[in-house]
Amino acid sequence: MKKILAVVGSPRRNGNTHILVSRIAEGARAKGAMVDELYLGDFTIKECDGCHKCWERKECSKNDEMCNIYPKIIQSDIIIFGTPVYWYGPTGLMKVFIDRFVYFNSPENREKIKGKSAVIAVPFEEESPETARPVVEFFEKSLAYLEVKLVGKIIVPGVSGRGDILQKAKRLKEAYELGQSLA
């Protein structure tokens, strides 16, 4: 049974990103996967300051809730990263979360993430798919650097108001099917 960690990086609960990620999770659950959904807005995660203490003693020096999330990441087979596009990048919540992945870049911790799979879910306001390109590249490069396989992505333009994505039935069906394929 696949273990999936679904991470919602939008500050807007029940918004387009949350709905999109939940739809992927729903598809995965329908095929028997265990899915743990995290809403980053519920956690206090401090920024990485590059101290590299995680490289010296295997633990992060920050005493925050990210320390409780590391085991969830380690135990997962697949991670879903959901973020809307904010100023042509991921949200601050998602960026701080990813910055703390330096923990997995240390020689002692690299094997804890290497070989995992990932999916990205990126809804955004503008109509041009090019708007999401910097976010997609951010994840492609970051995940490749950590030797995590990007196995799927769903990019949904034209959604700005809370719940606009509910009008995109075809894209929600794709998200559900993507989730099923992960299981």
Instruction: Check pLDDT > 70 for residue 75.
Output: yes
Element (H, E) at 15: none
The answer, yes or no, to whether residue 58 has pLDDT greater than 80, is no
Specify the DSSP element, H or E, that contains 7: strand 3-8
Q: Where are the beta strands (DSSP E) in 85-130?
A: 117-123
How does residue 178 score in pLDDT terms, banded at 50, 70 and 90? very high
- Cβ atoms of residues 8 and 21 within 8 Å: yes
pTM for this model (two decimals):
0.95
Per-residue pLDDT, averaged over 156-178, amounts to: 94
Ranking 15-29, 59-73, 136-150 by mean pLDDT, the lowest is 59-73
Query: Lowest-confidence range among 15-29, 47-61, 143-157, 166-180?
Result: 47-61
Query: How many structural domains comprise the chain?
Result: 1
The maximal CA–CA distance of the chain, rounded, in angstroms, is 50
Residue 51 predicted with pLDDT over 90: no
d(CA 161, CA 65): 30
Show the beta-strand stretches assigned E in 112-177: 117-123, 149-156
Report the alpha-carbon distance of residue 49 to residue 170 in Å, rounded: 42
Average pLDDT for the chain: 94
Where in the sequence is the domain holding 98, given as residue range(s)? 3-182
pLDDT band for position 59 (50/70/90)?
A: confident
**Residue 171: which CATH number?**
3.40.50.360
pLDDT digits (tens, 9 = 90+) for 5-24: 999 999 989 999 999 999 99
pLDDT over 80 at 100, yes or no: yes
- The CA angle 167-172-174, to the nearest 5 degrees, is 140
- Quote the pLDDT of residue 54: 82
- Neighbouring C-beta atoms of residue 45, cutoff 10 Å: 17
Q: Once rounded to an integer, what is the mean pLDDT over residues 84-88?
A: 93
